[in-house]
Amino acid sequence: MADSPALQNNEIRRAQTIIDFRKNYTGDLTDFYMWLDKDGKIVWISNINSTAYQRYKGFDLSYRPYFTVPKNINTAYYSSIIESNDKIPRLYISYPILSKQGSEYRDTNLTKTGTFKGVVVAAIRNDILGNVLKNQLFPEFVSSIVIIDKNSIILYSSNNSYTGKNVVGDEFQSSLSTLGSPKSRNLLDDLFRASLQGNTGSSIDIFAQKRMNTIAYQPVIVGGNHFLTLFINVPHNFASDVGAAINAQKNFSIHIVIIIGSLAIGIAYLVLTWNRRLKTIVNTRTVEVKKANK
């Protein structure tokens, strides 16, 4: 969108259509797209009704880092958690609108990048991001996810009490005491600290909450920048699940044997009963025939 001639030339109608289309294309992942002019004032917000637009049009957001960073250094900005004016925490990704921004217009020595004309911003709600990621997990496995920003703040956790806490802060560190052994706590703490350095993903096995767990992480790198880190915790329930399945199969087999045995006994009883009745009928008919012949 930042490269769009409609935004660069301030063509309001066309730009509004482009921004609304982009929101529909990315679906529920993005809460909204926003266009700010060179002074940081709202020009357009995606899929907004006319009443709300009149209220927010021209609203000054020039103090927000998703405006100041692209303006000052002409590069993309990836935020940590930011609480918006409506009190909803979101992540923001913004790009500067630069006249003649495309690479074909730049000087060969890259000393110019064009005139700053505003920014386009994508907003992502923390809870929506978490739900999108949860839907990617295999439903057969009981697992949980945690999303941490580059400043070590927990943006999303399946345990809501952790959201907003710093993984290396005293409050969160004290909550790790419930893990049990000091070895497990130290392993998890080391994993958190390694993840904040943007290192390649890794995993550990720790014993916590009376069972073994595998915890793995992978950094989210965008444009060469460490944006987020995703953690997944998977309890080792496989053995117990298999045991339960075996017991269920055993019980099912026993029930099948009992049912088949009962059916066999019933069928045998019916056959014997019918044989007796048939024998009785035959004997009676034989006596009647002999009497008739006499």
Instruction: Express each pLDDT in 185-203 by its tens digit.
Output: 787 778 888 887 766 777 7
Tell me: pLDDT of 119 over 90. Answer: yes
> In this structure, is the dihedral angle defined by the CA atoms of residues 70, 74, 75 and 76, taken in order, positive or negative?
positive
* Strand order from edge to edge, sheet including 225-235: 154-157, 144-149, 225-235, 211-222, 202-208
DSSP string computed for 127-194 = HHHHHHHHTTS-TTS--EEEEEETTSBEEEESSGGGTT-BTTSHHHHHHGGGG-SHHHHHHHHHHHHH
The whole-angstrom separation of Cα 195 and Cα 118 is 34
What are the two backbone dihedrals, phi and then psi, of residue 4, each rounded to the nearest 5 degrees?
-65, 130
Rounded average pLDDT over 239-247: 50
Q: Which residues pair with 233 in a beta bridge?
A: 144, 215
Rounded average pLDDT over 136-152: 75
Considering 179-183, 219-223, 272-276, the range whose residues carry the highest mean pLDDT is 219-223
The whole-angstrom separation of Cα 80 and Cα 164 is 11
Tell me: pLDDT of 181 over 80. Answer: no
Greatest alpha-carbon pair distance for the chain in Å reads 133
217 neighbors 229 (Cβ within 8 angstroms): yes
What CATH class does 5-125 carry? alpha beta
Tell me: pLDDT of 289 over 60. Answer: no
Question: Which strand (E) or helix (H) includes residue 42?
Answer: strand 42-45
- Among 18-32, 219-233, 254-268, name the one with the lowest average pLDDT: 254-268
Rounded average pLDDT over 5-17: 85
Query: pLDDT confidence of 172, banded at 50, 70, 90?
Result: confident
| Stronger pLDDT, 192 or 237, i.e. the higher one | 192
What are the two backbone dihedrals, phi and then psi, of residue 292, each rounded to the nearest 5 degrees?
-65, -35
Query: What percent of the chain stands above pLDDT 70?
Result: 68
Query: Radius of gyration of the chain from Cα atoms?
Result: 35
Query: pLDDT confidence of 133, banded at 50, 70, 90?
Result: confident
Q: Which amino acid is at 42?
A: I
| Stronger pLDDT, 282 or 99, i.e. the higher one | 99
Tell me: pLDDT of 120 over 90. Answer: yes
Q: What is the pLDDT of residue 104?
A: 47
Residue 200 φ/ψ region, left for φ over 0, alpha for ψ in the -120 to 50 degree band, beta for the rest: beta
Rounded average pLDDT over 109-133: 77
Q: What is the mean pLDDT of the chain?
A: 75
Q: For 211-241, b where at least 16 C-beta lie within 10 A, e where not — what string?
A: eebebebebbeeeeebbbbbbbbbbeeeeee
Q: What is the pLDDT of residue 39?
A: 93
Instruction: Express each pLDDT in 55-105 by its tens digit.
Output: 888 899 999 989 999 999 888 888 877 666 677 778 888 999 987 655 544
Q: Which amino acid is at 261?
A: G
Q: Which one of 3.30.70.260, 3.40.50.620, 2.60.40.3140, 3.30.450.20 gives the CATH number of domain 137-236? A: 3.30.450.20
Rounded average pLDDT over 220-249: 67
Rounded average pLDDT over 50-59: 85
The whole-angstrom separation of Cα 270 and Cα 191 is 71
Tell me: pLDDT of 146 over 90. Answer: no
